[in-house]
Amino acid sequence: MTRRRWRGGAVAVLGAALLLLREALRRGVVVSPLPAGAGMLGDPVDLLTLLLLPGLVLVAGGRNPVSYFRVGRAGEIRPIGAASVLLVVVGAGLVATTTSMQRSYAAPTAPWHFVVSTLVALVPVEFFFRGFLLFALVDAVGRAAIPLAAIPYCLIHLGRPLPELLGSLVFGCWLGSIAVRTSSVLYGLALHWLVAVCIPLWMVVVR
């Protein structure tokens, strides 16, 4: 158990270092050889720091990164699945009505491209925060890992509208609890994608 906690703590420290690298690349503190802007494969910085490098760390430690996207304990999501979807749709509608969100985000001009690119962009985010970082912290500190992993997730939303910033902390805890219950990031990814798609769609309705 002590070895497992040590390993979990070490991975969490590596996770913090990767988030610092992500921020440094975005701010230009570190010269990036990556192409600028996000394409259909997502943001190159996120792909490197939130998916590729964490995945290599897991492989080096003898773990399969793809296993984070397994079906897992699907029975754990059934009692809360419908309620989760309903809360996401209603919550997205409430957030979409705020002035700050409407000023910051525009309705998508190419809906199908938006739907697909949003899903692709969220894969590294969910893999890192609800997989790599969260499961490492669970090994180290147990269920206290859920809010601990949600804090850095909230911090990457600094500079966003206040409803999105505050909502990311609550949403991060919620998705983290689902990941721990199911041993998978798959269900959180689906809910995250749903809220990201619903918000601009609600904006079309309320405007």
User: What does residue 39 show for φ and ψ, rounded to 5 degrees?
Assistant: -110, -160
* pTM, two decimal places: 0.90
Mean pLDDT of 148-173: 92
pLDDT at 3: 74
Mean pLDDT of 164-174: 93
Mean pLDDT of 21-50: 77
Among 58, 32, 26, CA closest to 132: 58
- Over 80: is that where the pLDDT of 111 sits? no
Q: Do the beta carbons of residue 101 and residue 38 sit within 8 Å?
A: no
> DSSP of the chain, one letter per residue?
-HHHHHHHHHHHHHHHHHHHHHHHHHHTSS---SPSS-BTTB-HHHIIIIIIHHHHHHHHTT--GGGGGS--SGGGTHHHHHHHHHHHHHHHHHHHTSHHHHHH----SSHHHHHHHHHHHHHHHHHIIIIIIHHHHHHHHGGGHHHHHHHHHHHTTTTS-HHHHHHHHHHHHHHHHHHHHHT-SHHHHHHHHHHHHHHHHHHHHH-
Torsion sign (Cα): 189, 195, 200, 205? positive
pLDDT at 32: 64
Q: Using pLDDT thresholds of 50, 70 and 90, give the confidence band for residue 37.
A: low
Q: Do the beta carbons of residue 71 and residue 184 sit within 8 Å?
A: yes
Mean pLDDT of 171-190: 95
Q: Using pLDDT thresholds of 50, 70 and 90, give the confidence band for residue 61.
A: confident
Encode pLDDT of 21-34 as tens digits. Answer: 999 988 877 666 66
